[in-house]
Every structure is written in structure tokens, then in C-alpha cells.
Structure 1
Amino acid sequence: MRIGYLGPEASFTHYAVKSVFINEEYIAFPTIPDCLEALAEKKVDRAVVPLENALEGSVPITVDYLFHDVDLHITAELISPIEQHLMVHPDHEHEWQDVSRIMSHSHALAQCHKYLYYRFRGVTLEPSTSTSAAAQYVSAHPEENIAAIGNALAADTYGLTVVEENIHDFHFNHTRFVVLTSELETELLPFEHDAEKTTLMVTLPSDDRPGALHQVLSAFSWRQLSLSKIESRPLKTGLGNYFFIIDVERPVDGILMQGAIEELEALGCTVKVLGSYKKHMLLPQK
């Protein structure tokens, strides 16, 4: 099986993939859209990308691409602890406090905001496509006194020295990765949670009538369907136009869920079902 993931090698996504897909072919992609397009074009059999972080919230490019650009399905979610470390090239391990810039994924930089503000105020923070891409760049440019923020696997893979460990601002730092397929199917993974959740993307009626969102929530409320998440994202059609991503703690094939979806459609909403799936908790990196 070919597993596409946000790379390069040693990214947090790569670690999540290796933790559950054993002895499969791993194919790294430089960006989330590249990874999702490869799955849509069936160049890979699965795609694994980050969807949400406990500190920084949803990954907008993943949510938007699943809504606007591709017809893919979530078949599993992987919850991974995230530990961010500051790493430099070994040539600069004794002068790391004088780095000229610090590179990482924008979410990783945000997760370490307080640390960076108090320890490296004024130093340029440069976003990269992933934490491992930042580590790869630092490794390839020993002439520059620069640093990357990433995981221990990236430091080991690219021969960097970790100079400060666990620099993220809050201890409970987890990322939710999703396993995607181009066809609806059940994922055969060692799930630790039997309960299924369903992710929906809902667009409100075009007439913009008052109370429309309340009606949407009522469709779940009176059926006692628990929502673990509701979030708005721009429709990209004008200010004030949104779609909503909703996580419901029930499988989609239940009678109550089917009834809720039918009620939403009867109200004039459009409903896109991303999938029903189970959760697997990953162990921290060693």
C-alpha cells in the first residue's frame, strides 16, 4: 500500500504514518495540497495530513482543500503528542543563542510563541512547509547560524543538535491527523476507541434567513446528538459567507444521524459527509 504524507521524512506526519502503517510504502509530499491531489489522482492509496492542533486549532489549508477542491473521505484519525525542540547544525551548537533566524511550520512557531518571544525577541521567524523541511534546510546550510523547531526524529534524521527540549508553551500539545481515501471504505487499524465520530461540512441556505444556524444546531440537539466541534470557514464568495465543519459523536449510518442530515437538507443546507471513523492514540516519540 502506498501512503502519502506531508513530508519530508521525519515530519510529525511521517511519525504518525510509521506508527500505524507498518512495512508499507511511504511517499512524502512537500505540501498538503500536493498530498491530497496525489490521493485524488490515485497516485497513492492513502493520504495522512494534519487536521487540527490542540493549541493552534484547525489547519486551514486541510479544511479548505477538503471542502473546495477534492472529494476524499476520512477513514481514521490519529492523535499524536507533539514535542517541539530547538535544533541547530552541530557546527553552531556552541553559538546557538546568536542564531540569525528560526525556521519551522507556522503552527510550530505559534506553539512556541512565548518561548521565542522571551528568548529570541527580534530574531526572524521564517515559516516553512513542515517542521522537517525546516530541519532539512538547516542541515543543508551549515554556513548559516540558523535554527529549526521540530521533533527528535527530525534532529536524528538530519544530523542536528537539540539545544533546547520541549519549548512549546503548553504541555498538552497534541495534533489530530486524518487518514484519507478516495473511496468510502473502513480503515483496518489498531483502534483504541470503538466509538465512531462523523465529520460533516455544512453550508447554510442561500437565502440567509435569520436563525438558520440555530435551526442547524437544533437538528442535532433534539435528537441528543453530541457535537464535539463546530467551526466556521470562509466560503471564499464574499465577506460574511461561511461553511461549517461539524464533528458529531455518532456514526453516519445511524437512524438519528440520517434523520439529522435529511432535516438539514430539507432546510436548504448543503451537507458534505467527510466520513465516519475511529480514533487511535499514538505514543510519544522516543
Structure 2
Amino acid sequence: MEVGYLGPKNSFTYKAASYYFDDSLLQPYASIANCLSALKKNQVDYAVVPIENSLEGSVHTSMDGLFQEKDITVCREIILPIQQNLLVNDLTIIPKKILSHPQALAQSQQFLETYYPDVLIEQVPSTTFAAEYVAEHPSESVAAIASKEAASEYGLEILSAGIQDNRFNQTRFWLLGKELLNHDNRLPEKMTLFITLPKNAPGILHKVLSAFAWREIDLSKIESRPLKTELGEYYFIIDVLIHDNIKLVEYALEEITLLGAKYQQLGYYPIVIKE
């Protein structure tokens, strides 16, 4: 068995994947798109990708990629605390350039604006890629925003620790597959739906949401994303909290289908929260 993840090793996605799988089973991929493609083509059995950060919201590459795939399901949700750190080769270095993944840069925006307002900021494919680059270019005045594990892996110094804008910074990761994974006995706690509305139907979004509301079904997330067909056309991402209400959820789905909406059930899965 092989499990793809957004690499390289010691990325935050690697940490999430390591919760369920031995290191020998993990296969890094350079992008989320490559990771999803490997799962689609059966090159890996499972894949782990970031879905949403508490500071910066959804990871659109993941959501839009999954919207296009009809045979991939969410097996687990893993929530990790995220601590970003400014890493350098030498603590005496004054950075002239800071590298990191776009999400990590956005999560540390206040720190960067306060302490490094005139420093060049450069986006790279992952936080670990940034750390690796810094380690391989000791003569450059360059720093990386990455995890403490990346600092240890590449022999870097932590110039500033915990630089994320909020100490409660967390990221949701999804363990994806084409069949369910029976690694624990946790009960499903959430269902994710992609919903597409019929055209030219006034009030249709209100009617769809009402199908859940009057049944007192909790929705923990509602987000729109462009269909990328024409301006003004969207699909909706809805997270439904599951308790003992699965029959009510099924009835709600029947109702929105009768209203002309189409839905894709992406998963019905348990949640693991790491401290």
C-alpha cells in the first residue's frame, strides 16, 4: 500500500499522514494536483491533502480538484495545530528574502508586516521546500517559514518561533481514498456535500438551505466556489454535522433534489483532532 501526500517530508501534510501510516508507506508529491492525480490513476491507495486553515480559509486547489473527481471519498478528517517558525542557517543572518508556501505566508502576515516590511517575500511549493532551499544556500541571506521538524531535518536555526497570526492556528486535512479505511472505530461526525443549483431559479439557495434548517440539521460550513464555466456560476461546499440525524439528512437531500439542485456526497467521516 502507498499513501500520497503533499510533500516533501516534514511538511505539515506529512505530519497529518503520519498519524495513520508508517513512514515507509508515504509517497511525497510536489503539488496537491499531482497528489489527487496519483490517487485517481491508482498509483497510490490513499492521499492526504490540506483542506482548510483556521486563519486563511479553504485550500481552493484541493476543493476545486475534488469537485472534478466523482470516485474519491473522504475517509477521515485530521485537524492539526499549526505553528510557523522563521528558519535560517545562522542566527546572525538578517534575511533579505523569505520563502514559504502561500498559506504559511498568509498565516504569518502580521509578523512579516511588523518585522520584515521591506524584505522580499517569495512563494514556493511547500514550507519544507523553503527550508530545504535555505539549507542548501548558506551563503544567501534567505529565511524560510516552516515547522520545527523541518528545522531539525535540515539543520536550521529558529530565528523566531510561533510567528503565525493566531496561536490557535489549525489546519484541516483529509485522508482521501476510493474505499473506506478501517483504522479505528470512530463514528462518522461530518458529511461534506458539493451542491450545484439550477439556473434562473429565484430564491433557490434559500430553499436548499431551508431543507436543512427546518429539520434542525447543523451546517458547520457554507462556501461558494466558481464553476469556472461562466461569470456568476457557482457550486457550494456544505459541511453537515452528523449526530443521530442521518435519516433527516437523507430526507433533506431528497428534498433539494426535488428542488432541482444536484449534489455530490464527498464523504461521511470521523474527525481526529491532534493536540
Q: TM-score, normalised by structure 1?
A: 0.92
**Which one-letter code corresponds to 2:214 in the other structure?**
W
- Native 8 Å contact 1:47 1:180 kept in 2: yes
Q: Deviations over 1:173-214 (max 9, x none)?
A: 00000000023x2x32347x64521000000112x2210100
- Indicate how the Cα distance of structure 1 residues 23 and 31 shifts in structure 2: closer, same or farther if over 3 A, else same: closer
- Indicate how the Cα distance of structure 1 residues 163 and 32 shifts in structure 2: closer, same or farther if over 3 A, else same: same
- Native 8 Å contact 1:252 1:258 kept in 2: no
What does residue range 1-286 of structure 1 map to in structure 2 within 5 Å?
A: 1-22=1-22, 24-69=24-69, 71-89=71-89, 92-95=90-93, 98-183=94-179, 185=180, 187-190=181-184, 194-206=187-199, 208-250=200-242, 254-283=246-275
Alignment length, in residue pairs? 275
**Which one-letter code corresponds to 1:188 in the other structure?**
N
Q: CA deviation at 1:238?
A: 1.7
Q: Deviations over 1:103-162 (max 9, x none)?
A: 111111011111100100111111111111111111122221100001011111111111
Counterpart CA distance in 2 for 1:121 and 1:254 is 50
- Does the residue aligned with 2:134 lie in a helix, a strand or coil? helix
**Which one-letter code corresponds to 2:192 in the other structure?**
T
- Does the residue aligned with 2:50 lie in a helix, a strand or coil? strand
Counterpart CA distance in 2 for 1:171 and 1:188 is 33
Q: Deviations over 1:243-282 (max 9, x none)?
A: 0000001279932121111111111111000010001112
- Native 8 Å contact 1:72 1:180 kept in 2: yes
- Indicate how the Cα distance of structure 1 residues 68 and 256 shifts in structure 2: closer, same or farther if over 3 A, else same: same
Percent identical across equivalent pairs?
44
- Does the residue aligned with 2:10 lie in a helix, a strand or coil? coil
Of residues 30-39 and 251-260 in structure 1, the stretch that sits farther from structure 2 once superposed is: 251-260
Counterpart CA distance in 1 for 2:43 and 2:245 is 29
- Native 8 Å contact 1:198 1:251 kept in 2: no
Counterpart CA distance in 2 for 1:271 and 1:60 is 19
- Native 8 Å contact 2:187 2:269 kept in 1: no
- Native 8 Å contact 2:217 2:245 kept in 1: no
Counterpart CA distance in 1 for 2:201 and 2:196 is 13
Q: Deviations over 1:35-74 (max 9, x none)?
A: 0100111111110000000000000000000002563110
**Which one-letter code corresponds to 2:45 in the other structure?**
D
- Does the residue aligned with 1:39 lie in a helix, a strand or coil? helix
- Indicate how the Cα distance of structure 1 residues 14 and 257 shifts in structure 2: closer, same or farther if over 3 A, else same: same
- Indicate how the Cα distance of structure 1 residues 132 and 23 shifts in structure 2: closer, same or farther if over 3 A, else same: closer
Unaligned stretches of 5+ residues in structure 1:
none
**Which one-letter code corresponds to 2:255 in the other structure?**
E
Counterpart CA distance in 2 for 1:9 and 1:23 is 9
- Indicate how the Cα distance of structure 1 residues 139 and 2 shifts in structure 2: closer, same or farther if over 3 A, else same: same
- Does the residue aligned with 1:20 lie in a helix, a strand or coil? coil
- Does the residue aligned with 2:19 lie in a helix, a strand or coil? helix
RMSD, matched Cα: 1.7
